[in-house]
Amino acid sequence: MSGRPVDAAALKSVLEGVLGPEGCRFDPAAREPFALDGRVPEAVVYPPTPERAAELLRACGGAWGIVPWGGGHRAEIGPPPTRYGVALSLARIAEIGEYDTESLTLSAGAGTTLFDVDQRTRAHNQMLAVGWPWERHTLGGLAAGNRGTPKRLAYGALRDQLLGIKVALADGSLTRFGGKVLKNVAGYDMTKFFLGSRGALGVIVETTWKLFSRPDHEVYLWAAMPSVDAAARLAADLLRSPLLPACVFLLEPKAAQRLAGLERLGDLAGRPLALVGFDGRAAATRRQTADAEALAGKAGGEALPVREEIGQQAAGYLMGELPSEEPALRLRLGTLPSFSGKAFGAVRSALDDHGCTGEAVADYAAGRLTLWADAAESAPEALRGLTETLRKRLAPVDGFVEVERAPPEVKASLSLWGDLGGSAKLNRVFKEKLDPQNALAPGRLPGVPGEF
C-alpha cells in the first residue's frame, strides 16, 4: 500500500526513462526493505550522480511521493508518507570528493557511509566528530536525521560541523547552500534548515563537513551511583568543574543493568550508572579521569575500572539502538540538563501509572533522554497514555516528548512531535516554497500536514 493508487506503467516508464532498467527495482523482494509502517513503495531507484537524482525529480513532476533513503537506520521516525511511490536510495552517490587535510574539511556524496569516512580520515589522524564510528549510516541520513552528537561538549553540535550541502530540489534543480569554510553565511543559513528536514525539503546529494584531529586517547569512566539524583548531581558537578568531559550519560537502573551486560561491568545491584568520557592527550585524560573519579566518590558513587573504548552495541544503545528486538515504543524526551534527575523520576512514575515497563538513558549535556517502553501486548491506550502523561509532566519545564517509534495505530492517534511552537509555521513556509507539489516525503516534516 502506498497512499492513492499509482499508475505502475507510467511510473516505470518515467523512472526507467531517466535511470535505465539498471537503476530501478520493481520486484517485491527489492522494495520490501524500504517499507515504512507497512507501506511498501512501488519502486526503488538508485541514481548514480546528483545530476541524475535531480533529473529524476524533474521527470516525476510531483506525481508520486518520493522518500530519500540512506542506511535506513532512522527511517522509521515520523509518520508514514501519505504518498509513497518511490524510495530514492543514495547508495550510489557515495564518493569522497574534496578532502582538504590542511583546513580539515571534507566533501562527500550523501550516500557515503560513516565507516568509509572513518577509514579515509583515520589515515590522516583526523575524524568526523560524531561520537563513535557506526558503520552503514550515511552522511545524508546524518544531516537529514539530525539526532544529536554524543560528544558535543568537546566538538560542538552537528549544526556546527555541517558546513555546506548540495541539494536536488523537487523541481529538478541542483542548489548549493553554505560552503567549505567555517564563515560562509550571508543572510538565512539554509544549510542548518536542512538539518533534521527528513527528506521533505530536498534530496541532499552532497555534504561538506568540518573535521577534527583525532584525540590521542579516549577514556571512559563508569560510575555506579546510589540513586539517579546522585548521578544527576555528579553530572552537574562535572559540568561546573574545570574538567572538560567529551560526554556525560546517565542510565537509570534498568538501562544500567542492560549496559552492564553489554560492557561486562559486573553486578551493579540495581544501581544507576554515570558515564563520563574524556578525549585528549594521555596525561590530560588520565588526570581528568582521576578528578572525575574523586567527584563520583564524593557523590557516593563507586568508580568501575576505566576503559579506553566503548563497545559497538553499547555505543548504539547510548544513541537509541537496542541490540535485540525493540519494545513497542521509543520516546525522545528533551529537558534542561539540570532537570535530568527529575525527568527520570517523571518517567518512572508515568510508567507505573500506565502499567508499562521501560528503560531510559540520558545524554546529560544535550538534555535528551531516550525511553524504550512497552505494555502488556503493546496495549495502544497504555502507550498513548504514557506519552501524554510525560508531555504534561515536562510541559512546565518547557520539555518536549517526540514519538520515535510506535505501533502504527498509536502513531496514527498521537501528535508525534508534540507542540512545535513557531517552527511548525517555518517548516510549512519552506515546504510550500521548495516543494509546492508535496512530492518529497509527504506528511513527514514536523508541523506540515500530509496534504496541502
- Report the site for ligand FAD in 192-251 (rule: CB under 6 A): 198-199, 203-204
Binding residue (CB under 6 A) for ligand FAD from 82, 105, 107, 138: 138
Residue among 369, 339, 147, 164 at smallest CA distance from 255: 369
Whole-number Å distance between alpha carbons of 443 and 249? 33
Residue type at position 451: E
We find the least distance from the C-beta atom of residue 226 to ligand FAD, in angstroms, to be 29
Is there binding between residue 330 and ligand FAD (CB under 6 A)? no
Among 74, 166, 330, 391, binds ligand FAD (CB under 6 A): 74
Provide the minimum distance between the beta carbon of 162 and ligand FAD in the complex, in angstroms, as a whole number.
10
Least separation in angstroms between residue 244's CB and ligand FAD is 19
Single-letter amino acid, residue 76: E
Q: Which 8-state DSSP code applies to residue 394? A: H
Is 109 a binding residue for ligand FAD by CB under 6 A? The answer is no
- In DSSP notation, 53-104 reads HHHHHHHHTT-S-EEEESS-SSTTSSPPPS--SEEEE-TT---EEEEETTTT
Given candidates 39, 147, 210, 271, which one binds ligand FAD under the rule CB under 6 A?
147
Residue with smaller CB distance to ligand FAD, 199 or 380: 199
- Of 171, 149, 170, 168, the C-alpha closest to 160 is 149
Q: Would residue 212 be called left, alpha or beta, if left means φ above 0 and alpha means ψ between -120 and 50 degrees?
A: beta
CA dist list (Å): 272 to 129, 229, 360: 28, 10, 10
Shortest-Cβ-distance residue relative to ligand FAD: 141
Q: Does residue 94 bind ligand FAD (CB under 6 A)?
A: no
What is the smallest separation between the CB atom of 128 and ligand FAD, expressed in angstroms?
9
Q: How far is the CB of 56 from ligand FAD (least distance, A)?
A: 13
Cβ–Cβ under 8 Å, residues 79 and 411: yes
Judged by beta carbon, residue 69 or residue 400, the one nearer ligand FAD is 69
* CB nearer to ligand FAD: pick between 2 and 389: 2
Stretch that binds ligand FAD, among 148-156, 233-241, 276-284, 421-429 (CB under 6 A): 148-156
Total residues contacting ligand FAD by CB under 6 A comes to 37
Pairing between strand 86-89 and 66-69? parallel
Q: Which three cell numbers stand for residue 359?
A: 528503560
Site of interaction with ligand FAD (CB under 6 A)? 67-75, 90, 110, 130-132, 134, 137-138, 140-142, 144-150, 158, 198-199, 203-204, 315-316, 319, 321, 441
